């Protein structure tokens, strides 16, 4: 037979999944018990007998035989001594004698370390034996025992062999996840598969529920990240573990673990100590790369899960077990020092160069290299996740604490995690660099400066999380995701109870729930009335529905924003019925013209109709709020199976910044219309206030609409220049812009970041129907959180009864100083900057009545 010819393994569906085992292949099975290896050896031998192969079984270990004694199999006993060379040569001599096209089974390679006392030599044996078998066009099956060998030894085998298959089993299923299949590839080849011996089936896991169960099982077996060299940190954890295993009192050790690994926030520490069990600390350490703190985001997620586990076992049953990794805060500093960036870091911390050095430092952070031992640990994470997508998230020391949310200030990077190991590692390293570099973003620096944190250590830990979800063709995403608030102080529906909490719910990845995207609206859910909506007609529901679905495209290795039509036919019927709603009015109109087709839009109606699910989301947040003694916000995903099962993945939890209104403000009731710039009811958000406005910035909607698309970002820079130009001068500024602020899409409005508007007292979004601009506060989005934390008043001008009066004509009498900030004369008709310092212009807002007035005295 010819080299690389296909052979049959005795399991037809496995042959199809792996594109067949080929002549020349060495097939390594990593198992927890040799009985798992036997599941694959038995059909392999039976098929080889049927095909009349030359079958050789190398017998050298002390365990029970792996192949039954029979005439068709040559069992060759090779004495296993401490002499590596003798043993290896004996094996090679036999292989050479048997020649081409032979079929082999080897005893467990893990027993080689019993004699040779090192994993290195086991790896060396395989390195010299595997290529010899390859060139003779043989097929050989090898078992190794999981957890018995160092990463270096396993990596030698992985780099040498043609097929490396991880096998896991529980009382119900046998799972196989190919770690390597040389010279073969498919969309599902590297997914976990379920092997059923009775039915002889071997099928990939494609739905989120089964995937969650697999990772729950996987977590019991794999603990990558440990290093053979022991430092003081590891000695301490090893000693604590030994004390715990011997039933000794380790309360003090747990306190130390909490302090050095979890958080510096005293409120968080108290809750961690209350809810964490010793195993929780050891589990964090086993999933941790490096030393230091795991950061606020990681700590908040783990603490919330521990609270739910301890307080509500019923909800805990439907929570996906976390399978996250933590890159410790010390790695961030080590990265800076190793790459000789420390001097630049020290300079950037000074008052003079705090902002000016940020871009240079960010560029350096994107260009650094990682030490080889750290790369090895990164590979351990890749090994754990196989080729399922994951996300690298910021988890800085100050992040997600009481008073400091850092919402959207740092990057999160999705990794499609497909391709060769080198490609996946490069993607991972770039993701880490990107998050590190985001510590120098203008928004992050401005946030820290405004909150008096610019002199504090802000070490960047990282939270690495598997993307929870299912495969829909080449797209990977959860069924739904979003953010939740245990308390909603701003009513988006009449009659809702703010104490009930709310969700901002989307189909697909949750990025659509926290960003303001073009023409796309998440579903806002008040948990006391989950099905309630402000839309009256189906047309309104469709108009204000989610249009863009975010998913990881594993074939193109990227995060994609998809129109519904791009993914609708890829999702199963039960999910369509759950997440989508028919626009019967449009369908009826089409039928009248002889066009028969379904017209659906995303509404997540099937989810909000699930009373138990909505109740559990509410209970989950309220239980955490009770322990925090403070409102909280969470990020989550939801996955559903065809039989109605569902799982919730709690991705993040942090204190929610909510300020109680204490000011009583009376709106003047006798102001003549020719003095009123803006008056509205029911369209503002913020605390009551009465404040002068001495600078008003206005972007004219139609003029902005008519700008060339590529030039629109220039308006954001103009606003940012004004914002920073008056920084620290105690001016009271108001911004009025078309459409939405804080968007990345110029089609929606001026694409500002929070750093561009951080100095304004109030911001106002203006509806302009002809240009297609629609105000939308985006409750639960990052910009929403920024406005709340900075106490910036939000208001909107709608073309409806909420706007009682809106006239900017009276501003023409006042000085326009836009020329001081505009370099391009063509922009003078687009942005106006009115200096009202001596004009007695006042802004009044009464939160209780939701009544706003901007007028001259």
For residue range 765-794, list pLDDT tens digits in order. Answer: 888 877 677 776 655 566 676 777 677 888
Query: Residue 238 falls within a domain, yes or no?
Result: no
Same domain, yes or no, for 457 and 539? no
pLDDT digits (tens, 9 = 90+) for 490-542: 666 777 888 899 998 999 998 876 665 555 788 889 999 999 887 778 888 88
CB atoms within 10 A of CB 37: 23
Q: What is the CATH number of the domain that holds 590?
A: 3.30.470.20
Q: What is the model's pLDDT at position 229?
A: 35
What distance in Å separates the CA atoms of residue 438 and residue 413, rounded to the nearest whole number?
A: 11
Q: Please determine, for residue 58, whether its predicted confidence score (pLDDT) is greater than 50.
A: yes
Q: What is the pTM of this model?
A: 0.67
What is the residue range of 608's domain? Answer: 471-655
- Looking at the 3D structure of the chain, how many domains does it have? 4
Q: What is the model's pLDDT at position 702?
A: 87
Query: Residue 222 falls within a domain, yes or no?
Result: no
Q: Which of 412, 447, 467 is the last residue of a domain?
A: 467
Same domain, yes or no, for 448 and 520? no
Cβ within 8 Å of residue 181, ≥6 positions away: 18, 19, 162, 163, 189, 190
Q: What is the model's pLDDT at position 227?
A: 42
Mean pLDDT of 839-849: 86
CB atoms within 10 A of CB 287: 23
Dihedral Cα 722, 724, 725, 729, nearest 10 deg: 120
Query: Residue 244 falls within a domain, yes or no?
Result: no
CA nearest to 233, candidates 284, 302, 292:
292
Is 120 or 268 the better-scoring residue by pLDDT?
A: 268
Q: Which of 189, 204, 219 is the last residue of a domain?
A: 204
Q: Which of 182, 204, 226 is the last residue of a domain?
A: 204
Q: What is the CATH number of the domain that holds 174?
A: 3.40.50.300
The pLDDT mean for the chain works out to 87
Residue 261's H or E segment, with its range, is: none
Query: Residue 225 falls within a domain, yes or no?
Result: no
- Calculate what percentage of the chain has a pLDDT beyond 70: 93
Same domain, yes or no, for 399 and 306? yes
Helix, strand, coil percent content, the chain, rounded in steps of 5: 40, 25, 40
Mean pLDDT of 747-761: 83
CB atoms within 10 A of CB 798: 16
What distance in Å separates the CA atoms of residue 99 and residue 136, rounded to the nearest whole number?
A: 6
Q: What is the model's pLDDT at position 622?
A: 97
CA nearest to 545, candidates 529, 579, 565, 522:
522
Q: Please determine, for residue 32, whether its predicted confidence score (pLDDT) is greater than 50.
A: yes
Q: Please determine, for residue 453, whether its predicted confidence score (pLDDT) is greater than 90.
A: no
Q: Please determine, for residue 655, whether its predicted confidence score (pLDDT) is greater than 60.
A: yes
For helices 372-385 and 421-437, the axis angle rounded to 10 degrees is 110
Is 272 or 338 the better-scoring residue by pLDDT?
A: 272
Same domain, yes or no, for 374 and 427? yes
Rg value, the chain, Cα: 31
Is 435 or 1 the better-scoring residue by pLDDT?
A: 435
Q: What is the model's pLDDT at position 153?
A: 74
Query: Residue 241 falls within a domain, yes or no?
Result: no
85 burial type by CB count under 10 A (0-12 exposed, 13-18 middle, 19+ buried): exposed
Mean pLDDT of 687-707: 87
pLDDT digits (tens, 9 = 90+) for 626-636: 999 999 999 99
What distance in Å separates the CA atoms of residue 248 and residue 242, rounded to the nearest whole number?
A: 9
Mean pLDDT of 351-367: 92
Is 204 or 785 the better-scoring residue by pLDDT?
A: 204
Q: What is the model's pLDDT at position 226?
A: 46
pLDDT digits (tens, 9 = 90+) for 548-557: 899 999 999 9
Q: Please determine, for residue 235, whether its predicted confidence score (pLDDT) is greater than 80.
A: no
pLDDT bin (cut points 50, 70, 90) of residue 230 is very low
Is 310 or 836 the better-scoring residue by pLDDT?
A: 310
Q: Please determine, for residue 217, whether its predicted confidence score (pLDDT) is greater than 90.
A: no
Same domain, yes or no, for 524 and 624? yes
Same domain, yes or no, for 372 and 494? no
485: left (phi over 0), alpha (psi -120 to 50) or beta: beta
Same domain, yes or no, for 687 and 809? yes
Query: Residue 513 falls within a domain, yes or no?
Result: yes
pLDDT digits (tens, 9 = 90+) for 572-614: 999 999 999 998 888 888 888 888 888 899 999 999 999 999 9
SS3 call for 319:
strand
pLDDT digits (tens, 9 = 90+) for 717-743: 888 888 888 877 778 899 998 887 877
Same domain, yes or no, for 649 and 679? no
Same domain, yes or no, for 740 and 839? yes
What distance in Å separates the CA atoms of residue 410 and residue 398, rounded to the nearest whole number?
A: 12
Q: What is the CATH number of the domain that holds 294?
A: 3.30.1490.20
Paired with 816 in beta bridges are: 834
Is 319 or 290 the better-scoring residue by pLDDT?
A: 319
Distances (CA, A) of 477 to 16, 218, 290, 507, 605: 26, 21, 30, 9, 18
pLDDT digits (tens, 9 = 90+) for 139-159: 999 999 987 777 767 887 898
Same domain, yes or no, for 270 and 168? no
Same domain, yes or no, for 427 and 477? no
Query: Residue 221 falls within a domain, yes or no?
Result: no
Q: Please determine, for residue 2, whether its predicted confidence score (pLDDT) is greater than 70.
A: no
Mean pLDDT of 254-261: 91
Same domain, yes or no, for 784 and 700? yes
| For the ranges 56-70, 391-405, 690-704, the one whose mean pLDDT is highest | 56-70
Query: Residue 256 falls within a domain, yes or no?
Result: no
Mean pLDDT of 270-278: 97
Placement of tokens 């559903």 in the chain: 640
Q: Please determine, for residue 70, whether its predicted confidence score (pLDDT) is greater than 50.
A: yes
């Amino acid at each position: 037979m010819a080299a690389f010819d296909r052979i049959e393994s005795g399991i037809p569906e496995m042959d199809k999944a792996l594109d067949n085992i080929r002549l020349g292949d060495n097939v390594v099975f990593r198992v927890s018990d040799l009985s798992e290896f036997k599941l694959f050896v038995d059909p392999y031998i039976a098929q080889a007998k049927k095909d009349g192969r030359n079958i050789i079984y190398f017998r050298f270990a002390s365990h029970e035989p792996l192949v039954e004694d029979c005439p068709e199999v040559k069992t060759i006993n090779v004495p296993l001594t401490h002499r590596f060379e003798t043993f290896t040569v004996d094996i090679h001599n036999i292989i050479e004698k048997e020649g081409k096209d032979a079929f082999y089974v080897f005893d467990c390679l893990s027993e080689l370390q019993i004699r040779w006392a090192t994993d290195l030599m086991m790896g060396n044996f395989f390195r010299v034996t595997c290529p010899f078998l390859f060139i003779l066009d043989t097929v050989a099956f090898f078992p190794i025992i999981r957890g018995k060998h160092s990463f270096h030894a396993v990596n030698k085998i992985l780099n040498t062999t043609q097929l490396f298959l991880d096998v896991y089993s529980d009382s119900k299923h046998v799972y196989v996840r190919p770690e390597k299949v040389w010279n073969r590839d498919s969309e599902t080849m590297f997914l976990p598969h379920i092997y059923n011996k009775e039915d002889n089936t071997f099928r990939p896991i494609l739905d989120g529920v089964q995937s969650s169960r697999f990772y729950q099982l996987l977590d019991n077996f794999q603990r990558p990240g440990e290093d053979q060299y022991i430092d003081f940190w590891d000695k301490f954890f090893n000693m604590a573990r030994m004390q715990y295993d011997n039933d000794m009192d380790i309360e003090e050790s747990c306190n130390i673990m909490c302090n050095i690994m979890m958080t510096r926030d005293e409120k968080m520490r108290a809750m961690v100590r209350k809810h964490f069990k010793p195993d929780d600390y050891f589990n964090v350490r086993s999933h941790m790369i490096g030393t230091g703190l795991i950061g606020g985001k990681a700590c908040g997620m783990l603490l919330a899960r521990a609270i739910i586990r301890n307080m509500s076992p019923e909800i805990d049953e439907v929570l996906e077990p976390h399978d996250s990794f933590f890159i410790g805060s010390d790695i961030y500093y080590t990265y800076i020092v190793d790459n000789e960036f420390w001097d630049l870091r020290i300079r950037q911390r000074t008052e003079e160069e705090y902002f000016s050095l940020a871009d240079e430092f960010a560029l350096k952070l994107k260009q650094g290299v990682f030490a080889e031992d750290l790369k090895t640990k990164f590979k351990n994470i890749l090994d754990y996740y196989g080729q399922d997508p994951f996300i690298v998230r910021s988890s800085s020391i100050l992040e997600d604490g009481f008073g400091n949310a850092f919402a959207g200030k740092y990057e999160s990077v999705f990794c499609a995690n497909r391709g060769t190991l080198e490609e996946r590692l490069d993607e991972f390293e770039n993701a880490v660099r990107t998050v590190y570099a985001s510590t120098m973003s203008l928004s992050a620096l401005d946030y820290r400066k405004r909150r008096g944190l610019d002199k504090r250590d802000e070490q960047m830990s990282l939270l690495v999380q598997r993307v929870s979800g299912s495969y829909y063709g080449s797209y990977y995403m959860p069924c739904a995701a979003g953010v939740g608030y245990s308390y909603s102080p701003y009513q988006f529906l009449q009659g809702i109870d703010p104490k009930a909490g709310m969700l901002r719910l989307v189909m697909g990845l949750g990025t659509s729930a926290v960003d303001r995207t073009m023409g796309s609206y998440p579903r806002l859910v008040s948990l006391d009335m989950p099905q309630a909506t402000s839309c009256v007609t189906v047309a309104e529901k469709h108009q204000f529905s989610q249009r863009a679905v975010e998913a990881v495209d594993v074939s193109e290795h990227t995060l994609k924003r998809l129109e519904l039509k791009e993914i609708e036919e890829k999702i199963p019927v039960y999910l369509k019925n759950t997440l989508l709603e028919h626009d019967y009015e449009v369908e009826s109109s089409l039928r009248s013209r002889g066009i028969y087709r379904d017209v659906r839009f995303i509404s997540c109606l099937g989810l909000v109709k699930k009373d138990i699910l909505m109740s559990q989301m509410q209970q989950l947040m309220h239980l955490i709020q009770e322990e925090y003694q403070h409102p909280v916000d969470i990020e989550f995903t939801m996955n559903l199976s065809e039989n109605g099962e569902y799982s919730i993945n709690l991705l993040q939890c942090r204190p929610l910044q909510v300020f109680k209104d204490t000011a009583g403000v009376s709106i003047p009731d006798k102001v003549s219309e020719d003095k009123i710039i803006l008056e509205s009811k029911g369209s503002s958000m913020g605390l009551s206030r009465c404040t002068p406005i001495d600078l008003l910035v206005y972007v004219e909607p139609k003029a902005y609409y008519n700008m060339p698309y590529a030039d629109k970002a220039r308006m954001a820079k103009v606003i940012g220049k004004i914002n920073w130009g008056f920084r620290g001068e105690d001016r009271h500024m108001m911004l009025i812009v078309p459409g939405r602020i804080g968007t990345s899409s110029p089609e929606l409005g001026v694409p500002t970041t929070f750093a561009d508007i951080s100095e304004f007292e109030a911001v106002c979004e203006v509806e302009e129907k002809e240009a297609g601009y629609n105000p939308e506060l985006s409750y639960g989005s990052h910009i929403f959180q920024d406005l709340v934390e900075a106490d910036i008043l939000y208001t909107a001008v709608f073309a409806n009864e909420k706007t009682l009066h809106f006239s900017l004509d009276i501003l023409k009498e006042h000085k326009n100083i836009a020329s001081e900030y505009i370099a391009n004369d063509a922009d003078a008709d687009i942005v106006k900057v009115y200096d009202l310092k001596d004009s007695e212009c006042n802004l009044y807002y009464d939160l209780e009545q939701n009544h706003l007035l901007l007028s001259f005295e």
